[in-house]
């Protein structure tokens, strides 16, 4: 995996940094690196991380962000999640900063229908189902062809 020496930061929060990278000979990826020091990492956090990986690994839908892998290193300490990359950013960016008025009605309907299909999959087709505590336009990423991906997994809980 090439993340340009982890210099290509595309997102940042108090809990994590997101990097853009490329799989060897393959697709672009988003790597979420948790910002936790080894001395602050507890057994509970490790169990939560492993549960999150297991839960995310079972998602398989065109409108849900796909977990491609994870990293669990002890020296140096690191916990990372690797997802498919959505090149058109978030729906929020398109609504507030982009040229939203130029997005065709057909494309808008594709986005809305994709979001509905993703939610139906999470709530009705998974066993046990998932729910998103706060669905927002920041939690919806758009691929090159504007297929929406529900990817705000930090807030997800198993019902």
Q: What is the pLDDT of residues 100-119, one digit of tens each?
A: 667 789 999 999 999 999 99
- Return the ∠ at Cα 21 (arms to 55 and 69), rounded to 5°: 25
Q: What per-residue confidence (pLDDT) applies to 158?
A: 38
* DSSP 8-state code for residue 37: -
Q: What per-residue confidence (pLDDT) applies to 156?
A: 39
* Domains located in the chain, CATH noted: 4-158 (1.10.510.10)
pLDDT tens for each residue of 54-63: 988 999 999 9
Q: What per-residue confidence (pLDDT) applies to 55?
A: 87
Count of beta carbons in the 10 Å neighbourhood of residue 60: 11
Alpha helices in the chain (DSSP H): 43-57, 91-96, 105-120
């Amino acid at each position: 995996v090439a993340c340009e020496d982890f210099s290509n930061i595309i997102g940042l929060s108090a809990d994590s940094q997101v990097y853009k990278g490329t799989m060897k000979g393959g697709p672009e990826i988003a790597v979420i690196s948790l910002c936790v020091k080894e001395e602050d990492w507890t057994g509970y956090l490790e169990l939560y991380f492993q549960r999150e990986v297991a839960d995310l690994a079972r998602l398989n839908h065109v409108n849900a962000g796909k977990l491609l892998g994870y990293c669990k290193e002890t020296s140096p300490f690191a916990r990372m999640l690797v997802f498919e990359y959505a090149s058109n950013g978030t729906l929020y960016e398109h609504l507030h900063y982009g040229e939203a008025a130029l997005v065709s009605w057909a494309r808008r309907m594709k986005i809305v229908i994709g979001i509905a299909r993703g939610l139906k999959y999470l709530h009705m087709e998974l066993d046990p189902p998932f729910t998103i505590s706060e669905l927002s336009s920041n939690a919806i990423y758009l691929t090159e062809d504007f297929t929406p991906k529900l990817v705000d997994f930090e807030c997800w809980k198993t019902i």
